[in-house]
Structure 1
Amino acid sequence: MTNLDEELIELRREIHRRPELAGEERETAGLVAQQLREAGLEVTTGVGGHGVIAVLDGSADGPTVAYRADMDAVDAQTNVLPFALSDRVFDEGFASRVPGVAHLCGHDLHTAIGVGLARTLAQDSASVRGRLVFVFQPSEENLQGARAMLETGLVQGLAPREFYSLHCGPFPAGTIAVSPGYGLPGLDHFRIALPDGDEATAAALAAEVAKLGTVEFPKSVAEYHARFQTVIDPETAASMREFVCVAQWTEQTPDGRPVPNVLLRLWPQERYLELRAQVEQLAAAVGGHIELTGDPFPAMVNSAELTTAAGRYLSRALGPESVAWAEASWPFNCEDFALFLNEAPGAQFYLGVANAEVGMNGAPHTPDFAADERAIAHGVRAMTGLLIDRLAAR
Structure 2
Amino acid sequence: MDAVPPTDIVGTGPAPAHVCGHDVHTAVGIGVAQVLARLRQQLSRTAVFLFQPAEETLSGARALIDAGVLERMGIEEIHALHCGPFPVGQFALTPGYGMPGQDKAEVSLSGPDALDAARRLTVDIGALATVALPQSPADLERIVADAKTPNGPLARFVAVRATAQEATVNVSYRCWPPERYVEVREDIRRASMPYAGAATRFPAEPFPAMVCPERDANLLAHHLRRTVGRDTVTELRAAFPPFSGEDFALYLDRIPGTYTFLGVRAPGAAITTSYPHYPDFAPDERAIGVGVRAMAGWIAERTHGAQDLPGGFREAEARHRARS
Equivalent of 2:287 in 355, 358, 375 = 375
The question of 1:190 aligning with 2:105 is answered yes
Alpha-carbon contact 1:186-1:297 (below 8 Å) kept: yes
The residue type equivalent to 1:266 in the other structure is C
Equivalent of 1:130 in 36, 45, 52 = 45
Compute the displacement of 1:281 (Å): 2.6
The question of 1:181 aligning with 2:93 is answered no
Compute the displacement of 1:328 (Å): 5.3
Distance, in Å, in 2 between the alignment partners of 1:203 and 1:100 is 29
Alignment RMSD (CA, Å): 2.4
Alignment of 1:140-179 (within 5 A): 140-179=55-94
The question of 1:291 aligning with 2:204 is answered no
Q: Given the two structures, how large is their TM-score scaled by the length of structure 2?
A: 0.86
Alpha-carbon contact 2:119-2:164 (below 8 Å) kept: no
Alignment of 1:1-394 (within 5 A): 71-75=1-5, 77-82=6-11, 100-196=15-111, 197-230=113-146, 232=148, 241-252=155-166, 258-287=167-196, 288-326=198-236, 327=238, 329-357=240-268, 361-393=273-305, 394=307
Alpha-carbon contact 2:146-2:154 (below 8 Å) kept: no
The residue type equivalent to 2:65 in the other structure is L
Distance, in Å, in 2 between the alignment partners of 1:183 and 1:311 is 15
162-171 or 221-230, which moves further after superposition? Answer: 221-230
Alignment size in residue pairs: 302
Compute the displacement of 1:230 (Å): 4.1
Compute the displacement of 1:285 (Å): 2.8
Alpha-carbon contact 1:314-1:382 (below 8 Å) kept: yes
**Secondary structure of 1:293's match?**
coil
Distance, in Å, in 2 between the alignment partners of 1:156 and 1:173 is 36
Distance, in Å, in 2 between the alignment partners of 1:144 and 1:324 is 30
Alpha-carbon contact 2:32-2:292 (below 8 Å) kept: yes
Compute the displacement of 1:355 (Å): 0.9
CA 1:127–1:225: 2 relative to 1, 3 Å: farther
5+ long unaligned stretches in structure 2:
308-324
**Secondary structure of 1:298's match?**
coil
Alpha-carbon contact 1:189-1:261 (below 8 Å) kept: yes
Higher-RCO chain (CA-CA 8 Å, sequence separation at least 6):
2
CA 1:357–1:271: 2 relative to 1, 3 Å: closer
CA 1:194–1:100: 2 relative to 1, 3 Å: closer
CA 1:222–1:386: 2 relative to 1, 3 Å: same
Distance, in Å, in 1 between the alignment partners of 2:161 and 2:232 is 36
Q: Given the two structures, how large is their TM-score scaled by the length of structure 1?
A: 0.71
